[in-house]
Homo-oligomer: A and B are copies of this chain.
């Protein structure tokens, strides 16, 4: 396989995989493209490489910046804005994990707490209902704690220690 072919495959596949994670396909493809590019790219170059519209590029670049996955760069003597991707993949993974934690775990805990506060355990039915809510709350809390710890921990330390626990 030629290098260019492999790069294209990577960009394309990364987009497909992303949809499996509830992340926009184009956003991921732009990210992949920037990950592989040593040079910073501008909107026109991205449009051309991925054959997508200017609006689409703009929208997804801003989304990627809000995730902290890419950075804007102003090049000497250039009017255009250039973009580079964060290349430390562990950092990338942490940023994505944090985002997913906020989007997927925190709302669960919030809603369960809200329900818990509104229902009193003053009948058998209420108690049964609260049991389910409480259990979900606990799972959510565990997921949240573990996630926070993983995100904060240094990856080498974590990998070795975590794996020890799991043996």
Known: A146-B162, A166-B146. A126 touches B21 (CB 8 A): no
Distance in angstroms between the alpha carbons of A111 and B129 in the assembled complex: 44
Q: Is chain A's binding surface mostly helix, strand, loop or mixed?
A: helix
Chain B positions within 8 Å of A111 at CB level: 10, 13, 17
In the bound complex, residues from chain B placing their C-beta under 8 Å from that of A38 are 128
Distance in angstroms between the alpha carbons of A10 and B87 in the assembled complex: 41
**Distance between A157 CB and nearest chain B CB, rounded to angstroms:** 10
Measured CB to CB, the residues of A under 8 A from B are: 1, 3, 6-7, 9-10, 13, 17, 20-22, 35-36, 38, 87, 89-90, 92-93, 103-104, 107-108, 111, 115, 118-119, 123, 125-126, 128-129, 132-133, 135-136, 138-139, 142-143, 145-146, 149-150, 153, 155, 159, 161-163, 165-166
Residue of B36, B118, B132 touching A129 (CB-CB under 8 A): B36
Q: Please, which residues of chain B bring their CB within 8 A of the CB of A104?
A: 17, 20-21
Q: How far is the CA of A108 from the CA of B93 in the complex (A)?
A: 13
| Distance of A117 from chain B, by nearest CB (Å) | 9
Cα distance, A6 to B111, chains bound together (Å): 11
Complex contact A3–B166 (CB within 8 A): no
Tell me the complex Cα distance, A118–B4, Å: 12
User: Which residue from B7, B13, B107, B162 sits with its C-beta under 8 Å from A20?
Assistant: B107
